């Protein structure tokens, strides 16, 4: 497997002077599904926003498929790295779901039947074809999550980054999303507090705390690491069946 994401010595501070990332090193190989775990304020989402240039590091480097994430490459990198935000309202803003899903590829110059095929294919992957002509603000939480994922898939990315993908979903919606993500072939980074999700979906977990990577382990090892979980404000739900393993990558 070849390296898809290579993060070296990344540091970042917000304008108020608060330093959030402290020399982060991380490498993700092609086809991996990796959970990014850690307490609130650990720097997880901030790191994710560096992967397609929404934020720029103050020190260090990031490459995606060998391409530096810098200004002259933003257009290419932003097609390659699809971010699915925790708040789906950040991604669904057009009058219909179809228009939202078409927005990205249309801005890349796709049009006509080629654009229609791209949109239909993305909606089919998320079992959302019936959502195409509905206004996004009339959708349920699970439907919005599927529509937001389709807006990213229509760009045919090499990497998917999810920020708390199961937040606000009911059990059926959560299960549908997990099955969808498990079937997707591209590299995936899943930022989550949902340890059962990480255990089922992601064979590898990276734990961040206070802007640093503090652990990088097989997710199944976390079951036998109560001190690591406690130190990073992570816990399994009461009564969790500890026999489950991550789906194969």
Task: For residues 231 and 10, give the distance between their C-alpha atoms in angstroms, rounded to a whole number.
Answer: 23
Across 122-136, average pLDDT: 95
**How many residues in total does the chain contain?**
249
Domains, the chain, in order of start with CATH, read 3-231 (3.40.50.300)
Question: Beta partners for 33?
Answer: 188
Does position 246 have pLDDT exceeding 60, yes or no? no
Does position 224 have pLDDT exceeding 90, yes or no? no
Percent of the chain with pLDDT over 70: 94
- Phi-psi sector, 239: left (phi>0), alpha (psi -120 to 50), beta: left
Nearest CA to 35 out of 227, 200, 230, 226 is that of 200
Q: Tens digit of pLDDT for each residue in 41-93?
A: 999 999 999 999 999 999 999 999 999 999 999 999 999 999 999 888 889 99
CA-based radius of gyration for the chain: 18
Task: Check residue 31 and give its pLDDT.
Answer: 94
243 vs 174, residue with greater confidence: 174
């Amino acid at each position: 497997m070849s390296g898809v994401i290579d993060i070296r010595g990344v540091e970042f501070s917000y304008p108020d002077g608060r330093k959030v990332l402290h020399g982060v090193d991380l490498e993700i190989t092609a086809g991996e599904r990796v959970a990014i775990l850690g307490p609130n304020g650990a720097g997880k989402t901030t790191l994710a926003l560096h992967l397609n240039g929404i934020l720029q590091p103050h020190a260090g480097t990031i490459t995606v498929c060998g391409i530096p994430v810098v200004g002259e490459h933003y257009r290419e990198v932003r097609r390659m790295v699809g971010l699915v935000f925790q708040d789906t309202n950040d991604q669904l803003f057009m009058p219909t779901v179809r228009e939202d899903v078409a927005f990205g590829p249309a801005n890349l110059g796709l049009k006509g039947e080629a654009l229609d095929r791209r949109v239909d294919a993305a909606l089919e992957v998320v079992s959302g074809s019936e959502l195409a002509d509905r206004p996004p603000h009339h959708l349920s939480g699970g439907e919005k999550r599927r529509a937001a994922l389709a807006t990213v898939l229509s760009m045919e990315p090499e990497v998917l980054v999810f920020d708390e993908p199961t937040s606000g979903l009911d059990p059926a919606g959560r299960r549908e999303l997990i099955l969808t993500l498990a079937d997707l072939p591209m590299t995936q980074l899943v930022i989550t507090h949902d340890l059962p999700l990480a255990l089922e979906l992601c064979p590898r977990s990276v734990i961040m705390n206070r802007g640093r990577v503090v652990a990088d382990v097989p997710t199944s090892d976390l079951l036998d690491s109560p001190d690591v979980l406690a130190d990073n404000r992570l816990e399994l739900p009461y009564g969790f069946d500890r026999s489950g393993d991550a789906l194969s990558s």
